[in-house]
Structure 1
Amino acid sequence: MKPHPTNWRKSSRSGQNSSCVEIGRFNDGAAVRDTKDRSAGYFITTGPQWSAFIDAVKAEKFG
């Protein structure tokens, strides 16, 4: 049986906005899904991939 992501959450900065993504725990990485269409599924990342993404966001590399 395939493991499922747990502890889904969205940023507190999203407020009541439904146009955002949610992050869930998945093994040592993360799962990401669209809040507006949860039934569409999710994609997963490894721990190192997720850390690299977060570091890039903090460094404003997606400006």
Structure 2
Amino acid sequence: MGAKAKKIILIVVLAFFVYAVFTSPDKAADIVSNLWGVLVDGFNAILRFFSSLLNR
């Protein structure tokens, strides 16, 4: 994928994010909160995996 295409995709995603925040800020906050929870849970799972791997 070219640099120009990546830039266009990034602009479209940012525009959609801004649109979502202005039209429904509560739902946008819920989505960000849920995504953050998924990232934290995934990171904790990776830490548990390596911890159990090293403690064997």
TM over 0.5: no
- Larger relative contact order (CA 8 Å, sep ≥ 6): 1
Higher helix residue share: 2
Higher strand residue share: 1
Classify the TM-score, shorter chain: 0.3 to 0.5
